[in-house]
Amino acid sequence: MCAGTRWGRNPFADCAIVIGGDGTLIQAIRGIRGSHLPVLGINMGTLGYLAEIDRKNIFPALDKLIGGEYTVEHRMMLTGTAFHQSRRMLADIALNDIVISRNGRLRVVDFNVYVDGAFLSSYTADGIIISTPTGSTGYNLSVGGPIVAPEASLILLTAIAPHTLNSRPIVLPDFVEITIEIGTNHGTDIDGAEATFDGDTSVKLSSGDRIVITRSMREALMIKTKNTSFLEILREKMSR
């Protein structure tokens, strides 16, 4: 049977049914991490890229679920660990994105980006988004980042309101280690920055702090009862 509540606490559950928008679905996946339960999303919100089933198709979808007529998609996740000098402050995972942004007054933040220990670039911006393909249609999309098919294995870096003309989103393979270091040029010690995981847990950062991001060993399991392709879903959502 599938568990509609308590997200994976029932040892006899085969899946979790989540009713709500994409935010609710993400929170459910974070809540059942480690349980290996696949999740069926029923969209009660507006846009809804993640929740596959809308209100009018709930009962046909449940019939397919009970009859075993479904597939399970594996979605990559990110792991991020924040450090102050050598002390670990917070480690968490994200299905959509890890966002590092200013905290406090309206002041830009300097970011130094390293990939596998090698310096990549510096940004002066309101923030930076490190996104999975699943998260490419979230905050990443709203700031001009690329849309990526959710089954891809990539990590996206997109600056938020960069203060340079040549800043472009960067697409990296999923096996690299990304380090974001908070710079010192714009008074970050006074106001600080903040790293947020899927809009949920967060940690405050100051100049010299860093967050190390890699692909997580955990995956999100998403139930699909329809054969609708990502391109079809994208076309439908973007035509609204």
Active-site residue list: 22
Q: Spell out the SS3 assignment of the chain.
A: CEECCCCCCCCCCCEEEEEECHHHHHHHHHHCCCCCCCEEEEECCCCCCCCCECHHHHHHHHHHHHCCCCEEEEEEEEEEEEEECCEEEEEEEECCEEEEEECCCCCCEEEEEEECCEEEEEEEECEEEEECCHHHHCHHHHCCCCCCCCCCCEEEEEEECCCCCCCCCEEEECCCCEEEEECCCCCHHHHCEEEEECCCEEEEECCCCEEEEEEEEEEEEEEECCCCCHHHHHHHHHCC
